[in-house]
């Protein structure tokens, strides 16, 4: 029997557009715009004035931050195709933000109902993930990962050069399908 | 450099005494006693009369079920010793009970503060866990696990014979230390 290879997929900025929420809340709280240019090579908190940074660092642990996030383009279609050929697990570093647990769980149920909940992993250190591929926007998650990392392009990781970069779900489809 | 071996540890009936909570709530709701004899070889729900089973199946997803559970004897002391020689991860099948997330997180912070939150894993299918050992009371979690399973003795798993059984944290200390 051929066993399927396994792909682990990060949520934020890979499946869910959390930058959109940072932009929305930053505009709401400070009447300022958080541009993609400002986010180049930086986390959202590091991209704003020092006096606004504590607020932005706190956003992801506010209940509701992860609720109703927009879905990243093509992620549903490509993951549905990948699920025919691979085992798909969701691996999100939710432990950093305990108030995000239910939002993330419900978001997955709503937008990726074809991935069953036994395949959700809320973790911290992703070296615990036993998979062949990890698609993630944070390169440090690949450092002790046993499989192959695919770095999902995001403004903050612009300067990262150590891992294979993918720019879209369409590009992932071309590599893995 | 020697890298530490990694032990993944289940929570319920291994670190946290969830049977105590089943007994407490069953007594509260039905004025009946749930004895360890009745639990021999059975889940809590299967150990009661058919008309009480839906209630018991719902208990673990009630907010508060996992709050303030008693700590299993010697688990703190032995895990603290193991943490000197091994990497310790907590691997709990929390996805089955989304309302348990915060209770479980806070319970770990309170009773096992020496295990950092990046080492918590809330999952479903434990074959995603990349570790050398898994200490768990459910044998099905070992079926696709890449490391060695140690079956923590519990009333419900009395008839399981496929895996090495450990009866106490003291016995785990003797094996792994």
pLDDT confidence of residue A3: 87
Output the DSSP codes for A81-104: HHHHHSEEEEEE-GGG-GGGHHHH
Cβ-based burial of A103 (10 A; exposed 0-12, middle 13-18, buried ≥19): buried
**How far does B91 lie from chain A, in Å, by closest CA?**
9
User: How large a percentage of chain B has pLDDT more than 90?
Assistant: 98
Q: For residue A7, which residues of chain B lie inside 8 Å, CB to CB?
A: none
B12 assigned to active site:
yes
- In this prediction, the residues of chain A whose per-residue pLDDT falls under 70 are 1-2
Rounded to an integer, what distance in angstroms lies between the CA atom of residue A60 and that of residue A170?
A: 28
Q: Give Cβ neighbours of residue A152 (< 8 Å, ≥ 6 apart).
A: A10, A13, A14, A135, A136, A137, A166
Tell me the domains of chain B and their CATH numbers: 6-17+69-176 (3.40.50.1000), 18-61 (no CATH)
Please name the member of A94, A127, A130 whose beta carbon is closest to the beta carbon of B128: A130
Alpha carbon of A39: minimum distance to chain B alpha carbons (Å)? 26
Tokens found for residue A145 = 């990962």
Q: Where are the beta strands (DSSP E) in chain B?
A: 6-9, 87-92, 120-122, 133-136, 148-152, 164-166
Q: Give start and end residues of each alpha helix (H) in chain B.
A: 18-30, 53-58, 75-85, 101-111, 169-176
**End-to-end alpha-carbon separation of chain B, Å?**
20
pLDDT at B123 over 70: yes
Asked if A128 lies within 8 A of B89 by C-beta distance, the reply is: yes
Active site residues of A: 10, 12
Assign A151 to helix, strand or coil.
strand
* B56-80: pLDDT as tens digits: 999 999 999 999 999 999 999 999 9
Structure ipTM over 0.85, yes or no: yes
């Amino acid at each position: 029997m051929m066993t399927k290879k396994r792909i682990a997929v990060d949520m934020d900025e890979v499946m869910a557009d959390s930058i959109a929420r940072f932009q929305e809340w930053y505009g709401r709280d400070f009447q300022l715009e958080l541009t993609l240019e400002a986010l180049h090579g930086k986390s959202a908190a590091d991209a704003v004035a020092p006096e606004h940074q504590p607020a932005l660092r706190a956003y992801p642990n506010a209940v509701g931050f992860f609720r109703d996030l927009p879905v990243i383009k093509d992620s549903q279609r490509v993951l549905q195709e990948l699920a025919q050929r691979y085992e798909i697990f969701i691996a999100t570093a939710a432990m950093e933000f305990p108030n995000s647990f239910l939002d993330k769980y419900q978001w997955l149920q709503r937008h990726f109902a074809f991935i069953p909940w036994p395949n959700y992993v809320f973790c911290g250190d992703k070296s615990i993930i036993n998979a062949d591929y990890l698609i993630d926007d944070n390169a440090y998650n690949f450092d002790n990962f046993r499989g192959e990392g695919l770095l999902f392009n995001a403004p903050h990781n612009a300067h990262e050069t150590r891992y294979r970069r993918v720019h879209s779900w369409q590009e992932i489809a071309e590599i893995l399908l």
